[in-house]
Amino acid sequence: MKVLITGGAGFIGSTIASACLDEGIEPVILDDLSTGRPEFVAGRTFYRGDIADGDLVDRVFRDHPDIHATIGCAARIVVPESVADPLGYYHANVTKGLALVTHLLRNGCHRLVFSGSASVYDAGQAITEDAPFKPLSPYARTKAAFEGALEDVTGGTDLRAITLRYFNPIGADPKLRTGLQTTKPTHALGVMINRYRAGEPFPVTGTNWPTRDGSGIRDYVHVWDLAAAHIAAVRRFDTVVPGTGPRYLPINLGSGNGTTVFELIRAFEDVTGEPLPHHLADARPGDNAGAYPVIDRARTLLGWAPAHTLQDGIAAALVWDKARHTILAEE
């Protein structure tokens, strides 16, 4: 089996490609390397270019007419950047995404697994796929807008689509072929690792939220588990969205119970065997209690549940952080 992975040189896309190789699936990667890394596509079938480039997509399918499905991971994803450049985000995540769909349909590729985001939801705990949307950033709104477009397109064309919604991927490929490429991550674990390496205390922003211990709650899932879910979606695609009923289906991925900031600190200390200095701080503008999803649909339809613990993800992230400079060339 072959799959086209757009954004396959990025953190998540390249990890999915690694998992595909381990599972006997040939990944065909399309990436413009604007944020992806050339090291992550070395030795793999790779086309450099834009997902909106119809001639390039046509060439991919001429070279690989046996592509079974597309996994769409190409997107801009940095929330503060989306606030500063909303037009750029809509162009990249919506306009170019729809151009790609047009090219896929022209080439007879009717199966799309879209790497979505649980940021489309309102803050809350135990969120199901039927929960109303309340995206709070231009980035999240582009993901919601593209989902709406996919639902409409699947209603009027031969396209069928599965959207996998998740929050914070952590960890790395167990074989260290791929991992988080940025040195300045904005998610809590990334900030925690950087503060730990620098010997600086980690800030706990807000301690009066309506959660288990008053700290904000987030959801973390090992990127290797995410990769497994994408492979399961490809392999079970014709069963999950057979085309005889609804042709579009969102599926939540995650831990199933979330992690508070204090729980993340304790898990980090479990992994390192050292206390993590931290201090309490006021909630920042725009902060909220956080959210985590229900994953029953993934269990039932994909036969998927996370196989790795939070501690596994932290340990893998620490190993990757230490090894990163030996794997990636300095920019």
Q: Provide mean pLDDT across the span 75-99.
A: 95
Of 41-45, 99-103, 185-189, 197-201, minimum mean pLDDT range = 185-189
CA distances from 199 to 23, 103, 321 (A): 40, 50, 15
Kindly state the percentage of the chain with pLDDT values over 70: 99
Asked if 9 and 36 touch (Cβ cutoff 8 Å), the reply is yes
pLDDT over threshold 90, residue 4? yes
Distance between first and last Cα of the chain: 35
Asked if 205 and 260 touch (Cβ cutoff 8 Å), the reply is no
Q: Provide mean pLDDT across the span 92-116.
A: 98
Q: List, for residues 237-291, the tens digit of each pLDDT value.
A: 999 999 888 899 999 999 999 999 999 999 999 999 999 999 999 887 777 888 8
pLDDT over threshold 60, residue 331? no
Of 245 and 319, the structure prediction assigns the larger pLDDT to 319
Q: Categorize the per-residue pLDDT at 132 as very low, low, confident or very high, splitting at 50, 70 and 90.
A: very high
- Average pLDDT of the chain, as a whole number: 95
Query: Which residue in 139, 196, 220, 248 is the catalytic one?
Result: 139
Q: Is 47 a catalytic residue?
A: no
Q: How far apart are CA 22 and CA 35, in angstroms?
A: 24
